[in-house]
Amino acid sequence: MEYGLYIDYEWCSGCHSCELACKQEHGLKTDEWGIRVVERLRKAKDGIVSEYIPIPTDLCNFCMTRVMEGKQPACVHHCMTKCMAFGPIEDMAKLAAKKKKTVIWGRSYPSRSELISATSA
Amino acid sequence: MKKTNEPDRRVHTVTWSAGPGCHGGCGVFIDVKDGKLVKMEGDPDHPYNNGRLCPRALAIKDFIYHPDRLQNPLKRTGKRGENKWERISWDEAYDLIEKRMKDIREKYGAESMIFIQGTGRNVGGWLLLLGYSYGSPNWLQGGLTGNSCFHPRLVSMRMTQGDYTVPDCSQFSQDRYEDPEFVLPECCMIWGQNPAKTCNDGFNANWIIDMMKRGTKTVVVDPVYTWIASKATIWLQLRPGTDGALALGLLNVIINEGIYDKEFVEKWTYGFDKLAERVQEYPPEKVSQITWVPKEKIIEAARLFAKSKPASIQWGVPVDLAPEGALVANSIIHLWTITGNIDIPGGMAIARMAYDVPPYPMSQEAIAEYYGDVMTPEQMAKRIGIDEYPVAKEFHWRAQADMILEALLTDKPYPLKGAWIAGNNMLASSANPRKYYEALNRLDFIVVVDLFMNPTAVALADVVLPAATMAERNGIRAWWTPLNAMESAVEVAGCKPDEEICFELARRLNPNLKWKSLEDLFNDFLRPSGLNYEQLKEKGWIFPPKGHPTQPYRRHEKGLLRKDGKPGFNTPTGKVELYSTHFERWGYDPLPYYEEPHMSPYSTPELAKKYPLILTTGRRSVLYFHSEHRNIKPLRELEPDPVLEIHPDTASSLGIEDGDWVWVENAHGRCKRKAKYFHGVHPKVVQSSHGWWLPEKRAEDLFDLWEVNINQLIPDGTQAKCGFGGGQYKSLLCKVYRADEGIEGIYKKETL
């Protein structure tokens, strides 16, 4: 199944909760991060741009254990401005099509039913 | 079968102070395995946070099980500052403290022992219980010139409108934004507050962002282009410390253009004509010159705010820290008052403690009601600062901080001999910290209660007691709504919650204390709710029903605010007092006026030649709570250095590159900072975070406190005429120059 992590970076306030939630969830060490918040702060023609964008790293597994339990990934669950969402990639694409300043990080994972059928086989 | 990594237990509680440090009350689940916290997660059903949590809360495991966590009472063996200690048991510590405190009481009177809390909210009430049980009325948040953190706003709200108000973001309802009674504000003015980084009492500032996402427009008043300013409908970039002038200028426009709520003003306010006359002194042109905000923007913002209904104002500590902070607070109260926004859906809701259950007694009457008449009126009258400041006497219940500092140094009105300092790293956080160091060092006996060794404990403590985090505490969290139970999830060997420490010692010092156990006390406090502690714990949190006097809206119309049951506000005139009858009675100016910062290009032009930049300190970080968390690696890694934000043009003219170490200096002192280029500050303004010390450095060197503490540049004794407001943390003068070297041994970012 194809999943997407949707980020509406118009509303990412750079609070770092996704980074710390991920660390706690996966017991990551000091120099390990499953997601990083990148600050974009620069002078543009029409004023100053102040933006943050979280980017998952190779350590991110979309919290598949949580997802299998019907929960949200730890970053989405704890996001302070609720600017993140997670689900089937088609649903996320629909969200992204509706507004500017959004990104989707996609990946394919076996869904719960695919996992169950794989184990029983 | 149970999986091996599954927790044994899941405990529901709320965050409050130690741990995340903050004043919030986020609902959380704590997963416990083999008696240890494995995870803390936000409760999606709790209306305060709806699942979300800040990075400090999410790093709580690193905080609780930090190897440097204090886990034994310590008795000083060397000289103060040598960091030599002997581990003692809790019984030995209590015996020692009891003996020393009783000696002081016998020889000098109980009032010579002062009880200092920091800003941690589940410390104060218990400290007050301890202080009062001992017999001293001198309880305070130490180090704050002009009691300048929320207290000026609190006393102003009580004096002017009789009650506290907060922006209504639907927080009084479990259904939140879906509650049919709630109305989304058309405009919210965000005054000196950064909702993306920091919350207020009982107020999750992310609610403001929730509302913005739903369509609320904003006016952001901030000298700095914060992320929230980048989202504002109108950003007013004022010169630091000129908030008072801006508020009067906005009032001028609203009154002169007649865009105020005439019906509300007529019916529910007192002294409008006098205020209207006073604001004539502050036309937008003049206010623009004072504040550096373009005149058109002042007019535009005034119109947007006044024509929006409902509208609210979310304010922060710069209001208190402006010169004459209590008056600045009053001007802002007048803004939401004359536009008719009090206690209406989406406006400024009157905030009372749910069911009137106190977090701790918050007035002299409440103290008498809850803690009993533990002190004679003669003893109560010894509270320091009440002779100088009638506001402190009538509308506050603590000692006045500047007068305590004076008493420490001058022995007037009487000598002070001992201090209990709980959760207040004063040498890192007070104004003029070196003066506090000298002053406190004169005391014979100092107890410090904290979670980690810090500069204040090393420099001053005779006994150190290890406190507990919110995850290790039972209690009640009552601050506005909802009313929450706190349940201890884990124990850390050797640590005790302030609740227990203070209660156990209070019972030793006052054998007549009416409660036999903490649970007795919780049950007693909870009486108005109709539940006891066990029952509340079962429910987790509760809201009073609609129509209850502690729930909005329009209570002034319904006679739910005054003790006499008449409609109106809880003030002498029964109205919101635009002209303060209290100030008139005490001989102060009853109307707000503007006062220039103590140090500024206009008030001290000669000084400004030497120190040409305006320095604003106390920039909040979501990773740190004041002086805490510098030792929590996953947080520190994200903000490893104390930073000074400086405009690139200003920096280049001074030969400073982005990332250079610099000295920030003025006539009072200097400290090191790492320069960070930032277009979002005015070229004549620099901004810095506060509360820095370096836990990675040697305790005997006070963790290099004096190299990085920016409060050395802040003078004390700048309090407002009425004693509330005026701490000059936000509007100083300084110069900035390159440092020859950085700080050796400072925490280095790990590879990323």
Classify residue B548: in a domain, yes or no. no
Q: Which residues on adjacent β-strands are paired with residue B541?
A: B484
**Architecture field, domain A2-120:** 2-Layer Sandwich (3.30)
Classify residue B671: in a domain, yes or no. yes
Interfacial B residues in 372-391 facing A (CB < 8 Å): none
pLDDT in tens, B103-120: 999 999 999 999 999 988
Interfacial A residues in 84-113 facing B (CB < 8 Å): none
User: How many separate domains does chain B show?
Assistant: 3
Q: Are residues B694 and B708 in the same domain?
A: yes
Q: Are residues B574 and B678 in the same domain?
A: no
Sequence-distant (≥ 6) Cβ neighbours of residue B744 within 8 angstroms: none
Q: Are residues B286 and B234 in the same domain?
A: yes
Chain B contact for A17 (CB, 8 A cutoff): yes
Chain B residues lying within 8 Å of A20, measured CB to CB: 55, 58-59, 634-635
C-beta of residue B721 within 8 angstroms of C-beta of residue B597: no
Chain A contact for B752 (CB, 8 A cutoff): yes
pLDDT in tens, B268-296: 999 999 999 999 999 999 999 999 999 99
Classify residue B29: in a domain, yes or no. no
DSSP for residue B198:
-
Indicate which CATH number applies to the domain containing B330: 3.40.228.10
What is the domain extent for residue B89? 74-148+355-542
pLDDT in tens, B673-699: 999 999 999 999 999 999 999 999 999
> Does position B125 have pLDDT exceeding 80, yes or no?
yes
Q: Are residues B295 and B402 in the same domain?
A: no
Chain B residues lying within 8 Å of A74, measured CB to CB: 41
Count helices and strands (H / E) in chain B: 30, 27
Give the pLDDT score at A121. 52
C-beta of residue B217 within 8 angstroms of C-beta of residue A34: no
Nearest CA in chain B to A79: B52
Classify residue B362: in a domain, yes or no. yes
Classify residue B613: in a domain, yes or no. yes
> Does position B595 have pLDDT exceeding 60, yes or no?
yes
Q: Is residue A40 exposed (0-12), middle (13-18) or buried (19+ Cβ within 10 Å)?
A: exposed
Q: Are residues B433 and B514 in the same domain?
A: yes
* Band of residue B1 on the pLDDT scale cut at 50, 70, 90: very low
C-beta of residue B27 within 8 angstroms of C-beta of residue B14: yes
Range in B57-61, B147-151, B179-183 the model is least confident about = B147-151
Give the pLDDT score at B752. 43
C-beta of residue B23 within 8 angstroms of C-beta of residue B17: yes
Chain A contact for B638 (CB, 8 A cutoff): yes
Test B197 with A15 for CB contact under 8 angstroms.
yes
Test A77 with B55 for CB contact under 8 angstroms.
no
What pTM does this model have?
0.96
Q: Are residues B529 and B620 in the same domain?
A: no
Chain A residues lying within 8 Å of B53, measured CB to CB: 17, 21, 78, 80
Mean pLDDT of B90-108: 98
Q: Quick check: helix, strand or coil at residue B463?
A: strand
Q: Are residues B89 and B123 in the same domain?
A: yes
Minimum distance, in Å, between the CA of residue B20 and any CA atom of chain A: 12
Test B54 with A11 for CB contact under 8 angstroms.
no
Give the pLDDT score at B514. 86
Q: Are residues B577 and B613 in the same domain?
A: no
pLDDT in tens, A43-78: 888 788 889 999 999 999 999 999 999 999 999 999
Test B58 with A20 for CB contact under 8 angstroms.
yes
Q: Are residues B516 and B566 in the same domain?
A: no
Mean pLDDT of B424-443: 97
Q: Where are the alpha helices (DSSP H) in B417-554?
A: 426-429, 433-440, 455-460, 498-509, 518-526, 533-539
Classify residue B157: in a domain, yes or no. no
Indicate which CATH number applies to the domain containing B114: 3.40.50.740
Q: Are residues B347 and B367 in the same domain?
A: no
Classify residue B390: in a domain, yes or no. yes
Which sign, positive or negative, has the C-alpha torsion A95, A97, A99, A101? positive
How many angstroms separate the CA atoms of B154 and B682, rounded? 31
Residue from B46, B53, B233, B749 to probe the interface with A (highest A Cβ count within 10 Å)? B53
Among the partner-chain residues B58, B59, B230, the one whose CB lies closest to the CB of A48 is B230
pLDDT in tens, B369-409: 777 777 888 999 999 999 999 999 999 989 999 999 999 99
Give the pLDDT score at B3. 57
Nearest CA in chain A to B38: A24
Q: Enumerate residue ranges in chain A where pLDDT < 70.
A: 118-121
Chain A residues lying within 8 Å of B634, measured CB to CB: 19-20, 23, 30
Give the pLDDT score at A113. 76
Q: What is the DSSP string of chain A?
A: -EEEEEEETTS-----HHHHHHHHHHT--TT--SEEEEEEEEEETTEEEEEEEEEE-TT--TTHHHHHTTPPPHHHHH-TT--EEEEEHHHHHHHHHHSSSEEEEEEE---HHHHHHHHH-
Averaged confidence pLDDT in chain B: 96
Q: Is the ipTM of this complex over 0.90?
A: yes
Classify residue B10: in a domain, yes or no. no
pLDDT in tens, B26-61: 999 999 999 999 999 999 999 999 999 999 999 999
Q: Are residues B232 and B269 in the same domain?
A: yes
* Band of residue B502 on the pLDDT scale cut at 50, 70, 90: very high
Averaged confidence pLDDT in chain A: 92
Distance of CA B660 to the CA centre of its chain: 32
Q: Are residues B339 and B360 in the same domain?
A: no
How many angstroms separate the CA atoms of B512 and B515, rounded? 9
Q: Where are the alpha helices (DSSP H) in B547-629?
A: 555-558, 581-586, 605-610
Minimum distance, in Å, between the CA of residue A48 and any CA atom of chain B: 7
Indicate which CATH number applies to the domain containing B611: 2.40.40.20
Nearest CA in chain A to B40: A24
Could you tell me the end-to-end alpha-carbon distance of chain A, in angstroms, rounded to an integer? 18
